[in-house]
Chain A
Amino acid sequence: MEIKLSVDFDAYEDGVKLAPLIEELAQDAEKSQALTSLIIGDWGAAYEESAQEFLPTLIAASSHFPNLRKLFIGDMSYEECEVSWINQTNLGPLLAAYPQLESFIIKGSTDLALEPLEHARLQELTIICGGLPSTVLQSILKAKLPELRKLELYLGVDNYGFDGDLERDILPFLYENPFLKLTSLGLKDSELQDEIAIAAANAPVLQQLEELDLSEGTLTDKGGEALLNSEAVRSLKHLNLNYHYMSDSLVLKWRSSGVNVTLDDQQDLDDEWRYPSLTE
């Protein structure tokens, strides 16, 4: 059973808080046992209040949710809160409190930390944000996640928190992959998308990947051609290049390449400003 808890603007104004909603769910014997997926949406003025508001409560409630496998912290649309304005916190202790968790999704990167990042069963880690700080990238690079299958990182732009260095914080995911069971890797929504694509085209990590996701960024023909010319890319089961700045002629080449590639949402090539998709 999947449950989403959130406190919208009006509820928050009326004094509703998220922590009591979590406690209520924990006390409901039937629902708490059946719960396999928990989505935390807006915790009430997430642009102002950090996830620390409810985190101790969620950690304390862990024994009530023995079957929880999926957890999403911060599932808010831009209609509710700008992604770059979502105040996160250190979510490491939360992961530690749920050793049976398999999937962990985070939205928002302001003040986000993941320390310690060790988990024996986690298979999927996704961070959706407008700019991922290098501290978080380093935490992930050093993480102990032996079961990780899928890693999806929105890298974003410096205006919204990305302060990483290509060599130090991004390329190790391609060249020194720390996750032996990884089959799906997303390094996306980046203004360095061409550089990442060029590096990815011949990266050792492709040997073990089924899916590579370089979507939502400012990928142009430069990065696109490097991928198209790579033998290793051809062995992928799926290549995701949605939202891109590649030319029509390269798109045509992709279509006849035999690669299982998605190329939706071509951007306006004449536009003098080029942005990744999620850059608030």
Chain B
Amino acid sequence: MALSVTDGVMRSYTILFGNPGNKRTTGWQQALQYHGQPAAMEVPYIRLLQAIRAGDRLIDLLESLIRRQDNRRLIQAGASFPSMNKHSVAGNEKAAESGHPVSLEDNEWSNHRMHMDNIAEKQVLTANLRSGPLTLRLDAPGENIAVERGLIALGADDAEGWTNDDLLPLPDHTQGSSIAAALARRLEPYHGRVLYPAQWFRGWCRLLSWLRAEVQRDLPCGRWMNDPVEAALMFDKRRCSNWLDQAGVNVPNALAPSVEEIPSSYDSLRQLMEQQKIHRVFVKLFCGSGASGVIAYQYHPRTGAEIASTTVGIEQWNGETIIYNSGRLRRYTDHGTIRRIIDWVGQEGMHVERWISKDMLDGKAYDIRQLVCGGQAGHAVVRLSRTPITNLHLRNERMLLEQTGLSAAIRENIQATALAGLAAFPGSFCAGMDVLVPAGGGMPLIADVNPFGDLLYYVQHQEMGAYEWELARWLERK
């Protein structure tokens, strides 16, 4: 039997690809518990990277993880599971930040994960690997040094294992600074430093490609919540903007008419801006997440004065130029610094779009992170800022959509735009859309698509946290 039914709720097994113990995986496990679903089997990215390098198969890794869990279970017979707060995603964050109750014994499993209560359940999972139903959920690979190193190594020219670039959206234009695989694995962590972003992205796409191929081969019943192909597409801002535009979704105009004409330096950026008589742009590192590598850049067409607002910091250290993300927004007016930062983004790969003047609330510019899942708009968080960059971790303010006093028409347009954005990705069940409302009215635009944009705190929709709601939509899908 491939599935079991308890109290009328279909029980579906989940494999969660993530970094165990972080707030994302913990939050998803809590959502599963909230809906009476079996805990997900967590497959750490670091193990995937090891398997790829060693030429192992995904199915073997999964089965060994199940066996291993079984052994641990024998050793730890009688261990009790930590109680989990059913409702609050907010609680999750605090728990994750304080380190409680996410105590990891071996950085892969903690004893409340995959709590298969009996041998029968384990057998069901093993059976589900082959015959389903089986949900496959990709989570963010970030905020884990070992995984970051592993992805950079996998993106190297001399990487071992699966080096198929079929999921890389723009392979000819993803050539940043490079480092050999062996050196990448020994990279020293340096807080905030941005390391080989284009190579990292290449590695990430290789991992996605491997996962997808392995699933096709050995887990034919697995259903991706978000198809890795589209996760890769969403991640590349150049390709994603173009994709949405082609689908008729409203996005800020990209400056470059084609991929070939995307600027790769400060000089070529200025040339393009001057040709088009556009002097205010957003320059974005093509594969950055959050505010990472985003620069609000403008020059004065008459005086030549320049301003670049960004979190990117640049320093010389032992003769080497170090690029890092400082936690706060900096405002540069010095030409030399601006040139060096833009040249760096250009070398790694940039996306340039027109700076659309954002609408204001209480004297602050805002945009909206709108969660959309399975054709429905869910949680929304309005982010307000005194600066051009609204991302939350830059100590900006947030508000709920219903607190804004925005008209029902604008709110509906925001949701409609976000839904249209997701509809352009038929293989993706859920994403977080960054939607901006232009000053002076007009239809909202999609400024960014976040395949892992569902980690939202302190906001409820239909009396559920973001993950609980997302899972409810997934379980009720046809």
A contact set with B: CB distance below 8 Å = 6, 8-9, 13, 47-48, 77-80, 82, 85, 159, 277, 280
List residues of chain B with CB within 8 A of the CB of A6. Answer: 440
B341, chain A: closest CB distance, angstroms = 18
CA distance A159 to B307 in the complex (A): 13
Bound-state Cα–Cα, A9 to B438, Å: 11
**Could you say which of A8, A13, A48, A85 contacts B439, with CB atoms under 8 Å apart?**
A8
Q: Which 7 A-B pairs rank lowest in CB-CB distance, beginning with the nearest?
A: A79-B357, A80-B357, A79-B358, A8-B440, A79-B365, A77-B360, A48-B302
| Complex-state Cα separation, A277 to B439, whole angstroms | 22
The interface residues of chain B lying within 8 Å CB-to-CB of A277 are 386
B388 at the interface (CB under 8 A from A): yes
Chain B 268-280 interface 0/1 with A at a Cβ cutoff of 8 Å (1 = within): 0000000001000
Cα distance, A106 to B331, chains bound together (Å)? 25
Residues of A within 8 A of B365 (CB): 77-79
A277 to B331, CA, bound (A): 13
Report the number of A-B residue pairs with Cβ-Cβ less than 8 Å: 37
Q: What chain B residues lie within 8 Å of A78 (beta carbons)?
A: 365, 386-388
Is B301 located at the chain interface by the 8 A CB criterion?
yes
| B300 interfacial contact with A, CB 8 Å | yes
Asked, given contacts A8-B357, A9-B357, whether A80 binds B298 with beta carbons under 8 Å apart, the answer is: no
* With A48-B302, A85-B300: A80-B439 Cβ-Cβ less than 8 Å: yes
Name the CB-closest residue of B to A279: B331
26 contacts between A and B (CB under 8 A): A6-B440, A8-B357, A8-B439, A9-B357, A13-B277, A47-B300, A47-B301, A48-B301, A48-B302, A77-B357, A77-B360, A77-B365, A77-B439, A78-B365, A79-B357, A79-B358, A79-B360, A79-B365, A79-B388, A79-B439, A80-B357, A80-B439, A82-B307, A85-B300, A85-B305, A159-B333
A8-B357, A77-B357, A280-B307 in contact; A82/B439 too (CB < 8 A)? no
- Taken together as a complex, chains A and B put the C-alpha atoms of A13 and B298 apart, in Å, by 17
A-B contacts besides A9-B357, A77-B365, A79-B358, 12 pairs, CB < 8 Å: A8-B439, A13-B277, A47-B302, A77-B360, A77-B439, A78-B388, A79-B357, A80-B439, A82-B298, A85-B305, A277-B386, A280-B307
CB distance from B394 to the nearest CB of A (A): 12
Q: How big is chain B's contact interface, by range?
A: 20 to 34
B358 cross-chain contacts in A, Cβ below 8 A: 79
Docked complex Cα distance between A85 and B439 (Å): 19
Report B-chain residues with C-beta under 8 Å of the C-beta of A80: 357, 439
Nearest chain A residue, comparing its CB with the CB of B358: A79
* Cβ proximity bits B331-361 to A, threshold 8 Å, 1 near / 0 not: 1010000000000000000000001011010
Residues of chain A lying within 8 A (CB to CB) of residue B300: 47, 85
Cβ-closest chain A residue relative to B331: A280
Report chain B residues within 8 Å CB of A48: 301-302
Give the distance in Å from the alpha carbon of A48 to the alpha carbon of B300 in the complex. Answer: 8
For chain B, residues 312 to 335, give those with C-beta under 8 angstroms from any C-beta of chain A. 331, 333
Instruction: State the Cβ distance, B283 to closest chain A Cβ, in Å.
Output: 16
Contacts of A159 in B (CB 8 A): 333
Distance in angstroms between the alpha carbons of A222 and B468 in the assembled complex:
51
Give, as a whole number of angstroms, the nearest-CB distance from B111 to chain A: 40
With most chain B CB atoms within 10 A of its CB, the pick from A6, A85, A159 is: A85
Tell me the complex Cα distance, A277–B387, Å. Answer: 11
Query: In the complex, what residue of chain A is closest to B278 when comparing beta carbons?
Result: A9
Point out the residues of chain B lying under 8 angstroms from A8, CB to CB. Answer: 357, 439-440
Bound CA–CA A48/B279 (angstroms): 12
Cα distance, A218 to B190, chains bound together (Å): 32
B444 to chain A, nearest CB (A): 15
State A82–B358 Cα separation when bound (angstroms).
13
Q: In the complex, which residues 261-310 of chain B have their Cβ closer than 8 Å to any Cβ of chain A?
A: 277, 298, 300-302, 305, 307
Q: Which residue of A lies closest to B441 (CB)?
A: A8
Q: A17 CA to B255 CA in the complex, in Å? A: 25
B439-460 interface code vs A (CB 8 A; 1 in, 0 out): 1100000000000000000000
List of A residues within 8 angstroms of B331 by Cβ = 280
